[in-house]
Amino acid sequence: MITRREFLAVSSASLLVRAVGPGVEQRSGRPWYETMRRCGQLNLNERDPLSLDVRSWIDYWASLKLDALLLNGGGIVAFYPTDVPFHRRSEFLGSRDLFGELAAATKARGMRLVARMDCNYAYADALGAHPEWFERNRDGSPRPHGESPWLYKTCMFSPYFTEQMPAIYREIGARYPVDGFFTNGWPSTGDLTVCHCVNCQRVYRDVVGATPPDQTDATSAAYRKYYDVYMRRVLDVWRGWQAVVTEKRPDSVYVGNLGGGIRTVKNVKQLGEVARWFNADHQGRAGDTAIWDCAQQGRVARPVMRGRTITNVTGAYSNSRVTWRHVAKASAETTMWMAQTAASGMVPWFHWLGGAPEDTRWKETGQAFFAWLAAHEAHFRNTRSIADIAVLYPQRTIAFYRSGTRPRDWRGADRAQTADYLQGLYYALLEGRFLFDFVHEDDLDAQTLRPYRALLVPNAAYLSDGHCRRIRAYVAAGGSLLATFETSRYDEWGDVRPDFALADLFGASVAGDVAGPTGNSYMRIAGRHPVLVGFEGTSLLPGPEMRVPIRRSGADAPVDAPLTLVPYYPAFPPEMVFPRTPETREPVAIFRSAGRSRVAYFAGDIDRTFWRSGNTDLSALLQDAVRWVRGDDSPSVSLEGDGIVEAFAWETESGYALHILNYTNPNMTRGFFRRFYPIGPQRADVAVAAGRRIGSVRLLRAGRDVRFEQAGNRVRFTVPSVTDYEVAVLV
């Protein structure tokens, strides 16, 4: 084990190394984890103490120029000779102190060390001695792990979280030079757990007043109360652990495990208020998940962390709908996941499982990307986004919404469907090459929204009166709005309102129950409007599957309703396929202008229907509506060229950076990327601060400068081609 004297010597040596690095002046005084840009993790298994070659592993991780390395401390299994009762030593530890060896070697190479812990399971001996530590089913039985049934699930409301885990943190903190602690699998952003242990029964009786339902169900009064109690417990445990790990080391940190991409139930805004570091355990995609899943994770986490560190894990192993822990996934897929992490403003965390890999192909993939990242570190220190469109992240709707398509026996929200509205809008924004940010629904104040010309709201059906008041204030101050379907129809828990809370903004009121789902209905182009200029050659557009019947309501501003309903008629057999009511006066979209504000409201779920159908007209209609609400002035950034890309534009500590991710690939929405398909010239036009003279535009992946023109605050240049990812930096 490393002595305290050695530890101090190593620490001050690494401080000296750091002190000569770039940009240290601005960053001095900030804790280490706020400025790290590269992170790695070797996830040990219980057998690893038999054979782990510490030196070669630390050589590998040092070659990635890591700021921080995560290594297993304990929790389920201790990788050091622990003295904490019921903290199980690895069966194969023998006389070895593997964590101690790794800790010394990590620090000797100037890397920060984070102890990777697991608070979620313990062994049968602990269950026998401390039955109150464990989750229980209704019948009182403990909950064994699905694949490793000799482990039992611990309960967050029990003293395991407030006594046992802190005892382990204190032991590790006292013995080893750790800079932080990370817990695998907790708290996550997914559904709440409902447990029936003695602690939880007490909470249900004394605080909630009832036993909550087993599944997410915001129609239940008990669930609503339990949600708040549960969030409070998560935040209390998080704060408590942060306090424990900083008892001796003020710059130490506790980091929990979040992630979940756009499908979150637990309130990420509240989690962001206690998290000093947000880790997204969002390691890869499966089945038909779209490639942009990782970039979306960055968009969800960034607004709640406001510049503080967000890491995103890249599983180098093959995690997909079928998981193989010990073979690498395709290098192109791994690279694109890390590229999305960096482009969206997160810090890559490269992850491998097991200390004796027979597949080592992943090593070079990580090395190549991290070396490139390290060489250009200054350009990844973002200070602000320069996007001018905001997308409301409708967390409560995604978590709780019961859409009209639910089957009769359906319980709880189906997040495979409640995220479809956002997903459809997102795809249209990528096709239209818009630059945008997410904003969290609980953070819609004037300061947050001021940089944006328009707020896009993909069916935020569940909004509180407060949410609606802030959206109204934004529009009154000159902001524009696009909203779809049932936005504001319900309160924050899903209780239906007599009308949209935002009826005054939409210029539309509810005129009946939600209709659908039906195919083969249409929107008739009944008038002229700038949103519809791209649709010459047709007077019909595909109709959404679901719609709220609406009537115009008493808006004082001019209202355009150039799209009207053509109701459903049979699609089969062909003899029967003719409209029974070819024309109606029922509007399906309302476009309004008031001063500088423009408001576009679509009564149908055109975003979700686009996502389900892939229909190009629906995407074009969404894009045209976004262009119209954004207004006639040039966007802050534009990017033209062939291919489907996702772009981010940041002001950085050294200038500006335009990130272009090339998604043009047959595997964009299904299966791993196998290789990249380069795209041709991309013409960029970027607004910089008034008076700022740009001296060069450099492409960090291509490794060369390109010609540019600056006229006033606009900088124009062409990126000749993009293979996987390009970052154009303007300094």
Smallest gap from Cβ 136 to Zn ion, in A, equals 7
Decide if residue 548 touches Zn ion (CB under 5 A): no
Binding segment toward Zn ion, per CB under 5 A, in 154-162, 554-562, 607-615, 704-712: 154-162
> Which token pair is 177?
């030079």
CB atoms within 10 A of CB 476: 12
Smallest gap from Cβ 78 to Zn ion, in A, equals 24
Q: Which is nearer to Zn ion, 134 or 506 (CB)?
A: 134
CB atoms within 10 A of CB 675: 13
CA atoms within 13 A on the CB side of 253: 23
Q: Which is nearer to Zn ion, 57 or 133 (CB)?
A: 133
Q: Which is nearer to Zn ion, 68 or 195 (CB)?
A: 195
Q: DSSP string spanning 605-670?
A: -HHHHHHHH--HHHHHHHHHHHHHHH-SSPPSEEEEESS-EEEEEEEESSSEEEEEEE--STTSSS
Q: Is 463 helix (H, G, I), strand (E, B) or coil?
A: coil
Smallest gap from Cβ 147 to Zn ion, in A, equals 22
Burial of 18 from C-beta contacts in 10 A (0-12 / 13-18 / 19+): middle
Cβ(484)–Cβ(607) under 8 Å? yes
Binding segment toward Zn ion, per CB under 5 A, in 155-163, 179-187, 309-317, 627-635: 155-163
Smallest gap from Cβ 193 to Zn ion, in A, equals 8
Smallest gap from Cβ 445 to Zn ion, in A, equals 37
Smallest gap from Cβ 237 to Zn ion, in A, equals 13
Contact residue for Zn ion among 197, 265, 429, 622 (CB under 5 A): 197
Say how far apart CA 724 and CA 550 lie, in whole Å: 45
Binding segment toward Zn ion, per CB under 5 A, in 23-31, 152-160, 172-180, 400-408: 152-160
Smallest gap from Cβ 144 to Zn ion, in A, equals 15
Indicate the helix (H) or strand (E) that contains 300: helix 293-305
Smallest gap from Cβ 169 to Zn ion, in A, equals 21
Q: Which is nearer to Zn ion, 161 or 611 (CB)?
A: 161
Smallest gap from Cβ 222 to Zn ion, in A, equals 15
Decide if residue 122 touches Zn ion (CB under 5 A): no
Smallest gap from Cβ 135 to Zn ion, in A, equals 5
Q: Which is nearer to Zn ion, 195 or 457 (CB)?
A: 195
Binding segment toward Zn ion, per CB under 5 A, in 192-200, 398-406, 600-608, 696-704: 192-200
Q: Which is nearer to Zn ion, 10 or 155 (CB)?
A: 155
Q: Which is nearer to Zn ion, 80 or 226 (CB)?
A: 226
User: Residues binding Zn ion: what is the number (CB under 5 A)?
Assistant: 6
Cβ(342)–Cβ(32) under 8 Å? no
Cβ(725)–Cβ(339) under 8 Å? yes
Cβ(86)–Cβ(128) under 8 Å? no
Binding segment toward Zn ion, per CB under 5 A, in 151-159, 370-378, 446-454, 531-539: 151-159
Q: Which is nearer to Zn ion, 157 or 717 (CB)?
A: 157
Binding segment toward Zn ion, per CB under 5 A, in 93-101, 150-158, 183-191, 360-368: 150-158
Instruction: Please name which of 102, 100, 107, 93 lies closest in space to residue 50, comparing C-alpha atoms.
Output: 93
Q: What's at 4, amino acid-wise?
A: R
Smallest gap from Cβ 629 to Zn ion, in A, equals 48
Q: Going by C-beta distance under 8 Å and a sequence separation of 6 or more, which residues neighbour residue 318? A: 324, 325, 327, 328, 329
Q: Going by C-beta distance under 8 Å and a sequence separation of 6 or more, which residues neighbour residue 648? A: 295, 343, 344, 345, 385, 387, 435, 658, 659
Contact residue for Zn ion among 71, 113, 195, 729 (CB under 5 A): 195
Q: Which residues, 199 to 218, sit near Zn ion by CB under 5 A? A: 199-200
Q: Which is nearer to Zn ion, 200 or 295 (CB)?
A: 200
Q: Which is nearer to Zn ion, 135 or 179 (CB)?
A: 135
Say how far apart CA 464 and CA 87 lie, in whole Å: 45
Cβ(463)–Cβ(585) under 8 Å? no
Q: Which is nearer to Zn ion, 155 or 392 (CB)?
A: 155
Q: Are strands 389-393 and 253-258 parallel, antiparallel or unpaired?
A: unpaired
Q: Is 432 helix (H, G, I), strand (E, B) or coil?
A: coil
Decide if residue 155 touches Zn ion (CB under 5 A): yes
Per CB under 5 A, residues contacting Zn ion are 155, 157, 195, 197, 199-200
